[in-house]
Amino acid sequence: MHLSKSISAALPKLRRYARALTGNQAEGDALIAAVLETVIADPDKMPRELPVKVALYRLFLQSFNAQGSGTPLQSGNETELEQVADLRLSRLSPQPRQAYLLRALEGFSAEDAALVLEMDDEQVTRLVAQANREMMDQVKTDVLIIEDEPMIALDLKEIMTALGHTVTAVARTHREALAAIAARPVGLVLADIQLADGSSGIEAVNDILTMFGVPIVFITAYPERLLTGKRPEPTFLITKPFEPENVKAITSQALFFNLKAKPRGNGSEHRPSLGSA
């Protein structure tokens, strides 16, 4: 494929990467335009030994880093989720943010990301791990688990603790859940829908949401009871039996995209609003 056609094919995704990196589509597009002008003036700036997409992203990051664009901006015309993502990403260190977006957003292999960043695979892996740690540090919080199966509750508690969260209580019934959150408001609730005394986790969650806005993740063996199409359905749902990595991913997503989620502290800090139930 001719160089110009190869570059054109890669541009839509590069624009996405540039917007995510800068937090501003206009700024990202301006950087890309400057890169294209560079290539037009001197095609040898695109190393022939590299795939065109890899070479293009490398040239873009060289330009981005040369001008010292370290902190993304927000454009003001984004959706709420885009604003939340930009806010979280803007707090990451520059190199980990670049590596994380190459891997998570653009789908580069570790090898190709290393070529883009002009480093080795192990450095890329370390940077992505650092980005994940920094993102989790932003959303560490107190967690209430509503679950009547002791072993499942223990598994969930271990998973949450491994992520840096603090499990404040494990409630087995509707009544226990309300008492626990009244005693100590939390930043995340994991809830089964069928509880020990026959009470409903769904009702417990609905009552909690009348008191506090908080992200809810339902973990249930009966997803069909929630996915009825007859009422607002949960945004975050995990089906039993679950894999720990799935729980980590879904709960982290629930917190990462929650605009008002803040690190754990006193109860007044935990008032996120999310229509999960």
**10-residue block means of pLDDT along the chain (277 residues)?**
83 89 84 93 90 95 80 53 69 88 90 96 94 84 95 96 94 96 94 89 91 88 66 69 86 72 41 34
Sorted by where each begins, the domain ranges of the chain are: 3-137, 140-269
Could you tell me the two tokens for 156?
Answer: 């969930």
Instruction: Please state the φ and ψ torsions of residue 66, each to the nearest 5 degrees.
Output: -65, -30
**What is the reported pLDDT for 76?**
53
CATH number of 3-137: 1.20.140.160
**What is the reported pLDDT for 145?**
98
| Beta strand residue intervals within the chain, DSSP E | 142-146, 166-171, 188-191, 216-220, 237-239
CB atoms inside a 10 Å sphere around CB 84: 17
Name residue, tokens 């930009």.
Answer: 86
Residue 146 near residue 201, CB atoms below 8 Å: yes
pTM attached to this predicted model = 0.62
Measured at the CA of 218, the angle between CA 214 and CA 221, to 5 degrees, comes to 170
Could you tell me the two tokens for 182?
Answer: 């009244």
**What is the reported pLDDT for 232?**
45
**179/149 Cα distance (integer angstroms):** 19
Decide if 3-137 and 140-269 have a common fold. no
Residue 263 near residue 140, CB atoms below 8 Å: yes
User: Three-state DSSP class for 100?
Assistant: helix
User: Three-state DSSP class for 46?
Assistant: coil
**What is the reported pLDDT for 80?**
63
**What is the reported pLDDT for 84?**
66
CATH number of 140-269: 3.40.50.2300
Taking phi over 0 as left and psi of -120 to 50 as alpha, with beta for the rest, 99 belongs to alpha
Instruction: Please state the φ and ψ torsions of residue 146, each to the nearest 5 degrees.
Output: -110, 100
